[in-house]
């Protein structure tokens, strides 16, 4: 029944516990679909005593299948307008290549048009991106506008992000082995994954996540800002002494440029890393936190 009609197993009173779900991995997609379409929390509890068979294949196929669904059907339901699937695929690939970047619609349109027989203008690219936002595939990060001691102009363009880094990986058609051999791309996708987690935790606290960059080149990957005015500055690095040192320099420079007579000093400064098992605080007060410790 789980293979033939998994939805039938999900009907009934909730919360609904499904034990040993890994025996029928299709249940995962069915549960996710139901959770997305029901306006309630705590619908299902999935438990199991073993690792799902073919975990890697299941995970990769989920992201790829999701991208295919967006390209061929979901995006058309956002505004009722029929869109060319190949053009949507190229646009998503362009967005994936520019994760964490402040790239204009004109540049995305030019990137898509480079491999398209027809001309793709800015308006078309903007309409496609707007549709992706409506179905929660992309969620750009707004710019943070602090009070600075200097008069250096702040860039106010939003930063491009998918809601999940796995969508970007699927759009690019890459997997773990590709990322291990291309640490630059791995760094961009790791940043996107960290931004996703920061958004989840910040929203639970009633806060928001922003990006900061000024025209002088000073940039901070993420700023968590709460409603009470408290905020923290975060640099995201894969790890390693050299990259952590760069992050420390950035956080120190940004914290020193904030006019604390007009706003609070940062509540914390943090470097979020991929490597390590334990978080610690440096003598200068900057926290080094592996992504796995963030939940604590």
**Is residue 160 included in any domain, yes or no?**
no
Biggest CA–CA distance in the chain, Å, is 66
Residue holding tokens 């196929």? 61
Same domain, 177 and 289: yes
Same domain, 120 and 174: no
**Is residue 146 included in any domain, yes or no?**
no
CB burial string 247-266: b at 16+ within 10 A, e below: bbebbeebbebbeeeeeeeb
CA 231 to CA 291: how far, in whole Å? 19
Number of domains in the chain: 3
Same domain, 185 and 259: yes
Same domain, 90 and 171: no
Same domain, 289 and 206: yes
**Is residue 156 included in any domain, yes or no?**
no
Cis peptide bond upstream of 118, omega within 30: no
Residue holding tokens 């005593």? 49
Same domain, 122 and 185: no
Same domain, 258 and 278: yes
**Is residue 69 included in any domain, yes or no?**
yes
Pair 131, 88: CB distance under 8 Å:
no
CA 3 to CA 23: how far, in whole Å? 10
- Domain span at 194: 165-293
pLDDT band, residue 215 (cuts 50/70/90): confident
Same domain, 219 and 281: yes
**pLDDT (tens digit per residue) in 217-269:** 899 999 999 999 999 999 999 988 899 999 999 999 999 999 999 999 999 99
**pLDDT (tens digit per residue) in 94-125:** 999 998 998 899 999 988 888 666 678 889 89
Q: pLDDT: is 118 or 204 the higher one?
A: 204
């Amino acid at each position: 029944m789980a293979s033939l009609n998994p939805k039938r197993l999900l009907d009934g009173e909730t919360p609904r516990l499904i034990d040993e779900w890994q025996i029928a991995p299709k249940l995962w997609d069915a549960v996710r679909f139901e959770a997305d379409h029901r306006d309630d929390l705590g619908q299902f509890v999935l438990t199991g005593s073993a690792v799902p068979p073919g975990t890697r294949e299941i995970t990769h196929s989920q992201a790829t299948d999701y991208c295919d669904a967006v390209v061929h059907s979901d995006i058309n339901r956002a505004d009722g307008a029929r869109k060319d699937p190949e053009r949507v695929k190229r646009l998503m690939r362009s967005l994936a290549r520019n994760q964490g970047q402040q790239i204009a619609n004109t540049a995305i349109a030019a990137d898509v048009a480079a491999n398209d027989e027809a001309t793709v203008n800015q308006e078309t690219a903007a309409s496609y991106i707007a549709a992706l936002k409506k179905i929660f595939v992309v969620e750009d990060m707004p710019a943070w506008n602090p009070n600075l001691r200097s008069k250096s102009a702040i860039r106010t363009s939003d930063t491009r992000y998918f809601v999940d880094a796995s969508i970007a990986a699927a759009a690019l058609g890459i997997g773990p082995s590709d990322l291990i051999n291309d640490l630059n791309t791995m760094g961009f996708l790791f940043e996107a994954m960290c931004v996703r987690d920061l958004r989840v935790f910040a929203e639970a606290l009633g806060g928001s996540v922003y990006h900061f960059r000024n025209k002088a080149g000073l940039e901070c990957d993420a700023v968590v800002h709460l409603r009470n005015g408290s905020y923290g500055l975060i640099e995201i690095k894969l790890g390693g002494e050299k990259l952590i040192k760069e992050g420390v320099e950035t956080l120190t420079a940004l914290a020193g440029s904030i006019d604390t007579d007009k706003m609070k000093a940062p509540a914390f400064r943090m470097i979020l890393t991929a490597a390590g098992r334990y978080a610690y605080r440096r003598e200068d007060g900057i926290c080094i936190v592996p992504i796995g410790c963030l939940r604590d």
